[in-house]
């Protein structure tokens, strides 16, 4: 897996007041757990840019004031209005212990079904897997070359060396559907979006009738 280095600093306090002060100065409070003890730390928000705003999965080499810890992101919290980073949870990992992580999918190949006029339907962008850090690939390649219209690849079809797929075996990953089915799906989505708006528009029209009864 790809590794990214990140230099961080120990937090002097762990309360809400301390976290608020950090965020006010563009710092992101974080915690790493899963090791001997939980470690609370922080770093400037822009230091997390390449780690958070990407579809890649990384093992993070955290330099906590001279002490190194390998970790993966477990949870990210954003501010509900500004969308700024509020908090990040990391879990410590070890090279001799398997980890569970979501890896990105890369679809490869020129599908026979797409060449015949079909459309690609990708249900999953990431797949949950388990394995040792040194055995996990940067991404999972899914070859669709042999897919005809109406055919698909499910999680149970995926096989990678020294990697265990943690998804339900029947979980759809990617498939090729007919152009007609794709168009129908788009029409249904549009109708579903329009229905609430139509219902909302009908409500005011009933108001005058109600007033007439007074």
User: pLDDT tens, 167-190?
Assistant: 999 999 999 999 876 556 544 444
Q: Which residues pair with 5 in a beta bridge?
A: 61
172 touches 116 (CB < 8 A) = no
How would residue 55 be classed by pLDDT, with cut points 50, 70 and 90? Answer: confident
pLDDT at residue number 203? 46
> Residue ranges per domain, the chain?
2-93, 100-180
Residue 154 scores a pLDDT above 80: yes
pLDDT at residue number 208? 43
Residue 82 scores a pLDDT above 50: yes
**Which DSSP letter does residue 134 get?**
G
CATH 2.170.120.20 holds for 100-180: yes
pLDDT at residue number 212? 40
pTM over 0.85: no
CATH number at 2-93: 2.40.240.10
29 touches 85 (CB < 8 A) = no
Identify the burial level of 72 via C-beta atoms within 10 angstroms of its C-beta, where 0-12 means exposed, 13-18 middle and 19 or more buried. Answer: buried
Residue 40 scores a pLDDT above 50: yes
Mean pLDDT calculated for residue range 28-36: 93
pLDDT at residue number 183? 59
């Amino acid at each position: 897996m790809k590794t990214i280095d990140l230099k961080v600093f120990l937090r002097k306090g762990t309360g809400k007041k301390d976290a608020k002060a950090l965020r006010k100065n563009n710092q992101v409070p974080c915690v790493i757990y899963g090791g001997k003890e939980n470690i609370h730390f922080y770093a400037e928000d822009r230091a997390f840019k390449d780690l958070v705003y990407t579809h890649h999965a990384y093992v993070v080499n955290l330099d906590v004031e001279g002490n190194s810890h390998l970790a993966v992101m477990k949870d990210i919290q954003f501010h509900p209005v500004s969308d700024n980073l509020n908090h990040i949870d990391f879990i410590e990992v070890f090279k001799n212990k398997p980890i569970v992580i979501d890896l990105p999918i890369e679809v490869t190949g020129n599908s026979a079904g797409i060449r015949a006029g079909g459309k690609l339907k990708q249900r999953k962008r990431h797949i949950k897997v388990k394995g040792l850090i040194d055995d996990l690939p940067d991404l999972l390649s899914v070859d669709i070359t042999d897919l005809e219209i109406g055919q698909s690849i499910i999680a149970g079809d995926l096989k990678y060396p020294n990697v265990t797929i943690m998804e339900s075996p029947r979980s759809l990953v990617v498939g090729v559907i007919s152009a007609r089915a794709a168009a129908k799906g788009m029409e249904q989505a549009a109708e579903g979006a329009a229905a609430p708006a139509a219902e909302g528009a009908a409500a005011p029209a009933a108001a005058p009738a109600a007033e007439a009864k007074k």
